[in-house]
Amino acid sequence: MPIPFVEPFRIKVVEPIKQTTRAERQRFLAEAHNNLFGVAAEDVFIDFLTDSGTNAMSDRQWSAMMVGDESYAGARSFAHFEKAVQEVLGFPFVLPTHQGRGAEGVLFKTLVSAGQCVPNNRHFDTTQANLMALGANPVDLAVAEAADPIRDLPFKGNMDLEKLEQFIVETGADNIPIGMLTITNNSAAGQPVSLANIKATAEIYHRHGIPFFIDACRFAENAWFIKNREPGYADRSVAEIVLETFSYADGCTMSAKKDAIVNIGGFIACRDENLKLKLSERLIIQEGFITYGGLAGRDLEAVAVGLREGISEDYLDYRERHTRYLGEVLQSAGLSVYQPTGGHAVYVDAAQTLPHIPPAQFPGVALANMLYIEGGVRTVEIGSLMFSHPDPLTGEVIPAPNELVRFAIPRRVYTRSHLDYVGEVARIVANSADQIKGLQVTWAPELLRHFIARLAWL
């Protein structure tokens, strides 16, 4: 058998993980009202809940943290952070935030008013909620292939350019204070967006006078896919592709907990100094002074190093192959894996895997819960618990575009044998798939309900 990939690092610090029994896990899940967000991390064996902030930092990041400058204003660590953002992303101005949603909150509260619309290929749950909390309308315009779990196409994360153009003409640019594009498209199975699509999206927004912001969380993985899949980019470095990506945008929001390989942090970057000043006002109220934005100096140091490590091609090659390997393992275990495998996660199509459970009974939650009960593997539903909503006109519940279970892979954390273990757990679940029951919500808040909703098995 050919070696599928090799980790381009060795392990210097280890963290023990604890196996539990099936009966214990059944009890833990019941105590958490059948919502995996409520299970203690200690009671999880392999945690694929999210790749956000769960990364293993390098020796260089840890040593940079030790020389963090904790001054309130003008810290040396801010200068290191600013220089890394300028060099890697190419934006002159940057404001740190505590994480991605902090960046979104500051940007949207500054630019967006109630009743206005913000297009995106697909909004992530926090961008969607940040806009809805302002009374604004997040609008998803991804290509139709994004919702197709089977066809193996290179850039299923793309914006549908015709729909975008039509949407802007119909809505009026005056009602669209900002246009977004999410790379990679997390809510569409982590699928990448091509540079041609990024450029064309920018052209449409700009022709209508709309500022263009990238939701940049996984810009490095997106650039890696461009290098490997888009004609004309094979010989360009990831660093160059990243700079070209952002050259078309007026700014970006970033969760550093993703491709900057840290445990906490985020930022807003932009080209316009006046906008930076406007954003600073809100930033100071919400996050903190403009040279720390809710982070410690040491956190800024870790981001500065992580941004550069995140675009290392050896690392990205391993990252993509590691993720793809999990996809292969789950597929051969009998789950229906969304094709092709995305950058940071494997998405299993729960609707195909559990065809007897309708969207209103949350097949994704059912599958995720069984993976936990059988093997202590924690994943997350990205389906109708997360995204279904009542139609504003009829009140009828519109299901999510897909019923997915996401296996998000923390960066540099799990080895291949961990992935093989998950494959065996998946096989146990797949073998009795027809016995699995659906669930109903017994209590939920209005926004971001999946985090704290309570459910019961049917």
Ligand X SMILES: *Cc1c(COP(=O)(O)O)cnc(C)c1O
Interacting positions 251-290 with ligand X (CB under 6 A):
255, 257-258, 266
Nearer to ligand X, 157 or 423 (CB): 157
Nearest-angstrom CA–CA distance, 306 and 114: 36
Q: Does 100 bind ligand X (CB under 6 A)?
A: yes
Interacting positions 391-420 with ligand X (CB under 6 A):
none
Site track 319-348 with ligand X (rule: CB under 6 A), x = hit: ------------------------------
Cβ burial, residue 363 (10 Å; 0-12/13-18/19+) = buried
Interacting positions 39-58 with ligand X (CB under 6 A):
52
Q: Does 61 bind ligand X (CB under 6 A)?
A: no
Nearest-angstrom CA–CA distance, 426 and 332: 9
Q: Does 77 bind ligand X (CB under 6 A)?
A: no
Residue listed under structure tokens 């985020």: 266
Q: Does 221 bind ligand X (CB under 6 A)?
A: no
Q: Does 198 bind ligand X (CB under 6 A)?
A: no
| End-to-end CA separation in angstroms for the chain | 44
Q: Does 97 bind ligand X (CB under 6 A)?
A: no
Nearest-angstrom CA–CA distance, 124 and 450: 13
DSSP string, 418-441: HHHHHHHHHHHHHHTGGG---EEE
Nearest-angstrom CA–CA distance, 359 and 348: 15
Site track 8-37 with ligand X (rule: CB under 6 A), x = hit: ------------------------------
Q: How far is the CB of 37 from ligand X (least distance, A)?
A: 13
Interacting positions 143-182 with ligand X (CB under 6 A):
182
Q: Which stretch binds ligand X (CB under 6 A): 123-131, 375-383, 416-424, 433-441?
A: 123-131
The residue count for binding ligand X (CB under 6 A) is: 15
Nearer to ligand X, 98 or 227 (CB): 98
Q: Does 233 bind ligand X (CB under 6 A)?
A: no
Q: Does 119 bind ligand X (CB under 6 A)?
A: no
Contact 371, 330 (CB under 8 A): no
Cβ burial, residue 326 (10 Å; 0-12/13-18/19+) = buried
Nearer to ligand X, 47 or 215 (CB): 215
Q: How far is the CB of 104 from ligand X (least distance, A)?
A: 7
What 3-state DSSP class applies to 140?
Answer: strand
How many residues can be counted in the chain? 458
HSE toward the beta carbon, residue 49, CA cutoff 13 A: 20
Nearer to ligand X, 79 or 448 (CB): 448
Contact 430, 334 (CB under 8 A): yes
How many separate helices (H) and strands (E) can be counted in the chain? 16, 16
Q: How far is the CB of 124 from ligand X (least distance, A)?
A: 3
Q: Which residue, judged by CB position, is nearest to ligand X in the bound state?
A: 100
Nearest to 126 by CA among 258, 251, 222: 258
- Binds ligand X (CB under 6 A): choice among 124, 212, 325, 421: 124
Contact 434, 77 (CB under 8 A): no
- Binds ligand X (CB under 6 A): choice among 34, 99, 137, 158: 99
Give the strand pairing for 397-398 and 377-378: unpaired
Nearer to ligand X, 215 or 403 (CB): 215
Q: Does 201 bind ligand X (CB under 6 A)?
A: no
Q: Which two tokens stand for residue 338?
A: 């969304």
Q: How far is the CB of 335 from ligand X (least distance, A)?
A: 23
Residues at the interface with ligand X (CB under 6 A): 52, 99-101, 124, 126-127, 182, 186, 215, 217, 255, 257-258, 266
